[in-house]
Structure formats: C-alpha cells, structure tokens
Amino acid sequence: MAEFPAALRYTVEHEWVDTSSPAVVGVTSVAAEALGDVVYLELPAVGASVEAGTVIGEIESTKSVSELYSPVSGTVVEVNQAAIDDPAVVNADPFGAGWLFKVEVSSEGQLLTAEEYGQHTGH
C-alpha cells in the first residue's frame, strides 16, 4: 500500500501541494509510477499566473504525455531547474527533490487529504 505524506494536500489529477508559503507543487508517486520514466517537463515560467484546476504544463514519459494541473491559484515564483535538467528525479523522489514549481498562493483549488487521496487512488 502506498503512503502519502500527511502534511501535503492532493488533487484528483495526482498533483500534490505543500501549502506553506510559497506553496510547493509536484506530482504524486502514483502519477510517477503510472507514467514510467519521466523524460521531459514543461513547467510554467516564473512570474506566470496559474489558476487552480487548469492545465499549466506537461510531463512526458517514455509511455505518454500528460497534462499538469495547478492545485492552487497564484503566481509562480520558482521552478525546479534540477528537475527540468534531469526529469528522472521526479520518478526517484516525487515528494522531495522531484518537486516541480513554487507558487505564491492567492487561493486553493479542491484539495484532498492524504487519506482522501489514498481512497481516490485505491492505495
């Protein structure tokens, strides 16, 4: 059974968010495992406005290309250049070094607790 960090919040699209300030956003281990080897990330630019629940980029693996959704609304203040340079870090450490971007949050979207996300994914 997968474990999801209780301090994080989750989306039904398999993103996670640490709601500290600024908020940190990534994809869950469920998404990373389903995608297979991540080979490319398209992330929003620093300074971009993002809207909760909308497509803000792409994550490409050897299996497929999937859209990334923002779990929060706000302004992007940082992107993880290390993950862009070596997308495999998303598979290796999705809840740590594989984070994707940081946002100054103006509002949150519909977020799940770790327990709710586990129920949603069946993990």
CATH of the domain at 22: 2.40.50.100
> Nearest 5°: phi and psi at 81?
-60, -35
Digit-coded pLDDT (tens) for 64-115: 999 999 999 999 999 999 999 999 999 999 999 999 999 999 999 999 999 9
C-beta of residue 83 within 8 angstroms of C-beta of residue 98:
yes
**What pLDDT score does 2 carry?**
63
Burial class (CB in 10 A: 0-12, 13-18, 19+), 45: exposed
The answer to whether position 121 is within a domain reads no
Q: Which domain holds residue 42?
A: 10-115
**What pLDDT score does 73 carry?**
98
The answer to whether position 120 is within a domain reads no
- Alpha-carbon gap, residue 55 to 85, rounded angstroms: 21
As for how many domains the chain has, the answer is: 1
- Going along 1-123, which residue ranges are E strands? 9-10, 15-18, 23-27, 38-42, 49-50, 55-61, 65-69, 72-79, 101-108
